[in-house]
Amino acid sequence: MVGGVKQTLTPKAIIHQKFGANASYRVEEVHDSSQSSCPGLAIPQKGPCLYRCHLQLPDFSVVSNVFKKKKDSEQSAAELALEKLGIRPRDDNDITVEEAWDDITGRIKYTFSDEFLSAEHPLGAHLRAALQRDGDCCGSVPVSVIATFDAKILSRCKIINPSVESDPFLVNSYVMKAAAKLSDYIVVSPHVASLRRKNPYPPAIIEALATHESDSLESVEVKAVHIPYLGTEIVELDALDISSGYYLDIIAKRFGLKDGNQMMISRTLGKASCGSECRLYSPIPKFKFSDNSSEPSGSSHEETRNARASYICGQDIHGDAILASVGYRWKTDNLDYDDVTVKSFYRICCGMSPNGIYKISRQALLAAQLPSSFTTKSNWRGPLPREILCMFCHQHRLAEPVFSITSDPVKLLSDIFRSHKKLKISGVDDADNENSSREKEDTTGLGHGFRCGVKVLTKSQDLVLDCSPRKLYEKENDALQNASLKALLWFSKFFDDLDVSGEELSDTDDDQDIKSPSTHVFSAPPILGKGDSSRTTNMPPKEKRVQSITNGSVVSICYSLSLAVDPNYSSDENLSDGESPREVIESNEDIESEYSTDLIESNEGIEFEVGTGAMNTHIESAVTQMTVGEYASFSTTLPTAAEVLILASATDTERIRWLLSVRSHLDYSILLLGVKGPTEERMEAAFFKPPLSKQRVEYAVKHIKESSASTLADFGCGSGSLLDSLLDYPTSLHTIIGVDISPKGLARAAKMLHTKLNKEACNVKSATLYDGSILEFDSRLHDIDIGTCLEVIEHMEEDQACECGEKVLSLFRPKLLIVSTPNYEYNRILQQSTPATQEENHPEDKPESQLPKFRNHDHKFEWTREQFNQWASKLAERHNYSVEFSGVGGSGEVDPGFASQIAVFKREANVVENVAEGSMQPYKVIWEWKKGNGDKKD
């Protein structure tokens, strides 16, 4: 299980509190050879790295166990140290309500102590500033300051009542209530919401402070943003002169209030663009003084609620609000401040939605969007879904998502199936495939893989969402990321975003996968833009061409988006009732002469995967029709949601608002820089069930089973997928050999064989893996019964492939040789975006020049049926073999034939000349196994 509910200090944090820099951690890497390698393997192996942590404290040291993650080893060491010290980490949840009240009272008392007045804590700076306040206010500290800046008080209030999370007034009222118990010491002014020390500070302390005093500020103007509570009024830029007194008093004056005691301060809203803390300031609503204010604010004051401000901070805010970045930091009395602009406000708004969290990180606000599917880790750009979901929950004050991963029961056969698949995916042939996030097809009924569910709960443990996709994934991480993405897509529908079109969400699959209580704990955010719903999205005004770039390809583009006013924007459909086209034309002409287009967003190179919805639909559909190097431009009208995004990306808010008001449109310019085709393995898996790779292996296995062969050599065995499958069936084979030039592939093959041969009873008496090229002859492989060479020749240069054929048939002279290679003619089917049957396919629709040439970037050539037949027939003839043609994937009867073409060569002569034993042995034994002896080489 990942994620948790309890908010506690970690062991490391406690150690830090106690020892600070006197605790030193040293993490060492531990290589666990027993776990990783395979005995006898002659290739140096790097096993999974584990970590052990040494923690040195002033009086003793501890050493942790080994862990997969560094940080786990550190936490474990800290935990051991705490145990030694006899400290049990105190859990906030262990504290009783009564203790919480006592803590609050104690802390308030301490805050007003002589000692604290010189504290380096930001609250200390407030206390000192309060002593400089004018008149009545001198020495009084606004309650909200204590409620906001003493994090411990806030955490204690949460114990008393968890709803303080969303209701900051409640914290204020608790602080006042606790302070009221200190009547000998503190004066509580309930109607002005401030606290003050009853007895003045000793003069000596005040004098000492003089040296502490802040530098006097010259007039300092800070930009802030005014957010009216009335949704009809726009969010505007404001300015604060923070040089003339206590900053809360200054902000209060913007609201026409007497002083800062009547101000509320929100939690921090991230660090905007400026780096310092950004918060919302708003007046304490009048009703809070008249209410019995220990009750949470109810719905009775809905009319004064500031929906936009409440939305971005997740707390109830009433009346107008100011978003500003002003405050004290540790160790200084100087104010820390930064400008906050309207753009910052919209950026914060954007960052509230799953789509926004994703986009913000990409700086591609309008162009990129949260993809609607997670295919492979290597194709995914930006933070991974799980990360985004955690950020989203944090943003919305929800508990950390709780993941539960189950792996389906391991049956023998499914185990085999899985190990086979795993090897295939990570085949040396294409390293990219390691991250393939293919769903596990369950057609075999074997049902093995990982399933992940995720629950999102509120901090008070109410269920918001229970998402438990039924799909199985081969990898745990894929299951996790897919579940996270599904949850994010569900949340997305609450946001007026450009992302996720409705279709994906109404998918019946998802309906069954996702449960959410009917009384939604999660509701739609307020309308942030103007909300003119008559603006709809138009398709790029271009004739529709056929998609030439396949789903799964990763394209890289350079683009720019501009806001422009179209002088011909008078087509009647775009006019609302009562407006005359003429007026519009006139006003547009005006604009034309004065203004050019405004660049909103541009990117010199951005990559995305086609078919996952990672880019806004206009860009994606245009790009998939382009060829590399081609430039395209088109315009679209503005979807409503785009307004917020545009305001979040453009600096000149006023001008942008004006442009938006005069029916502007978006101009897109796109240059297609490059395309990387989807990987062969993914393509094959998408089109064929079982995947083509599995069909090839099955084809060979069938032939081998039917023969009465006792020796087999797999030329170019890679990770050993064929040898692996062979061991699942009883065969007459007693000697199996694998040859390859890739150490990575051979090492994988060795591990697989090691596990399998030592586990299962089979006829095999000896297994050997050689590091060697099949372009070289090794006499130990002479006159074997069967040779296989699956998907190997196309990885050599064409002339080498011919040479290889000659070598194998003339020197190795197997009785039977099975060779498979891609059928080039079939590529146009594979390269379509969606699988189709051969009959339905109309490849002539496509400009062939735009298709990736081969199925895999490592292929040096791919042959048509004709080329393959020629090569194989001539070869067979020269060496006295017969040859038959076949294939897998699709049909041999219909054009363009099988997806993978196969030639089966049979040696005509029964007896072959002997090659002197030991005469030519260039191959290096990498790993060897003999029945009874186990793995021999060491």
Ligand X SMILES: C[S@@+](CC[C@H](N)C(=O)[O-])C[C@H]1O[C@@H](n2cnc3c(N)ncnc32)[C@H](O)[C@@H]1O
Shortest CB 683 distance to Mg ion, Å: 12
> Which tokens is 493 given?
């529908």
| 405 φ/ψ sector (left φ>0, alpha ψ -120 to 50, else beta) | beta
Cβ neighbours around 834 below 10 Å, total: 10
| Token pair 């078919």 in the structure block, residue | 611
Among residues 695 and 831, whose Cβ is nearest to ligand X?
A: 695
In the complex, least distance from residue 796 CB atom to Mg ion, rounded to whole angstroms: 11
Residue range at the interface with Mg ion (CB under 5 A); choices 101-109, 349-357, 751-759, 785-793:
785-793
**Pick from 155, 159, 197: which is nearest to 179 by CA?**
197
Does position 791 interact with ligand X (CB under 6 A)? The reply is yes
Please give the helix or strand (H or E) that residue 263 lies within, else none: strand 263-265
Minimum gap (Å) between residue 429 Cβ and Mg ion: 5
Give min distance, CB of 771 to ligand X, in A.
9
- The CB-based long-range contact list for 62-66 (8 Å cut-off, 24+ gap) reads 66/30, 66/32
Q: Which of residues 792-821 bind ligand X (CB under 6 A)?
A: 792, 795-796
Q: Rule CB under 6 A: which of 418-477 touch ligand X? A: 427-429
Span interacting with Mg ion, options 177-185, 544-552, 783-791, 876-884, rule CB under 5 A: 783-791
Q: Is 721 in the site for ligand X (CB under 6 A)?
A: yes
Residues 6+ apart with CB under 8 A from 253: none
Closest to ligand X by CB, 673 or 775: 775
CA dist 835 and 686 (Å) reads 7
Cβ nearer to ligand X, comparing 329 with 744: 744
Question: With binding defined as CB under 6 A, does residue 774 bind ligand X?
Answer: yes
Minimum Å gap between C-beta 914 and Mg ion is 35
Number of residues that bind ligand X (CB under 6 A): 20
Q: Which stretch binds Mg ion (CB under 5 A): 35-43, 89-97, 762-770, 787-795?
A: 787-795
Which of 773, 831, 833, 901 touches ligand X (CB under 6 A)?
Answer: 773
With CB under 5 A as the contact rule, which of the stretches 162-170, 662-670, 742-750, 784-792 interacts with Mg ion?
A: 784-792
DSSP per residue, 631-691: EEEEEEPPPTTHHHHHHHH-S-HHHHHHHHHTTEEEEEEEEEEEEEPPPHHHHHHHH-SS-
- In the chain, the largest separation of any two C-alpha atoms, in whole Å, equals 115
Question: Is 540 or 822 the residue whose CB approaches ligand X more closely?
Answer: 822
Residue 776, SS3 per DSSP = coil
- d(CA 808, CA 879) in angstroms, rounded, equals 10
Report the nearest approach of ligand X to the CB of residue 775 (Å): 5
- The Cβ of residue 897 has, within 10 Å, a number of other Cβ atoms equal to 21
Angstrom CA distances, 351 to 156, 252, 267, 497, 644, stand at 29, 28, 16, 11, 11
**Could you say which of 333, 643, 791, 825 contacts Mg ion (CB under 5 A)?**
791
Tokens 């860009």 locate to 619
Which span sits near ligand X by CB under 6 A: 409-417, 715-723, 759-767, 860-868?
A: 715-723
Single-letter code of the amino acid located at 716: G
Check residue 862 for interaction with ligand X (CB under 6 A). Answer: no
Residue nearest to Mg ion (CB): 791
- Of 478 and 740, the one with the shorter C-beta distance to ligand X is 740
At residue 890, what is the residue type?
G
**Near ligand X by CB under 6 A, which window of 88-96, 293-301, 441-449, 712-720?**
712-720
Q: How far is CA 360 from CA 274, 378, 645, 866, in A?
A: 15, 20, 10, 53
Among 33, 36, 31, residue whose Cα is nearest residue 52: 31
Q: Is 338 in the site for Mg ion (CB under 5 A)?
A: no
Binding mask 182-221 for Mg ion (x = CB under 5 A): ----------------------------------------
Q: How far is CA 573 from CA 395, 450, 588, 675, in A?
A: 40, 51, 16, 38
**Is 718 one of the binding residues for ligand X (CB under 6 A)?**
yes
Distance of closest approach, residue 899 Cβ to Mg ion, in angstroms: 12
User: What SS3 state is found at 65?
Assistant: strand
Instruction: Give least dist CB 750 to ligand X, A.
Output: 14
790 lines the binding site for ligand X (CB under 6 A)? yes
Residue 375 binding result from Mg ion, ligand X, none, given CB thresholds of 5 to 8 Å by partner type: none
Residue 741 in the binding site for ligand X (CB under 6 A): yes
Footprint (CB under 6 A) of ligand X, residues 283-342: none
Q: How far is the CB of 772 from ligand X (least distance, A)?
A: 7
Q: Which residues are near Mg ion by CB under 5 A? A: 791
Q: Which residues are near ligand X by CB under 6 A? A: 427-429, 716-718, 721, 739-742, 745, 773-775, 790-792, 795-796
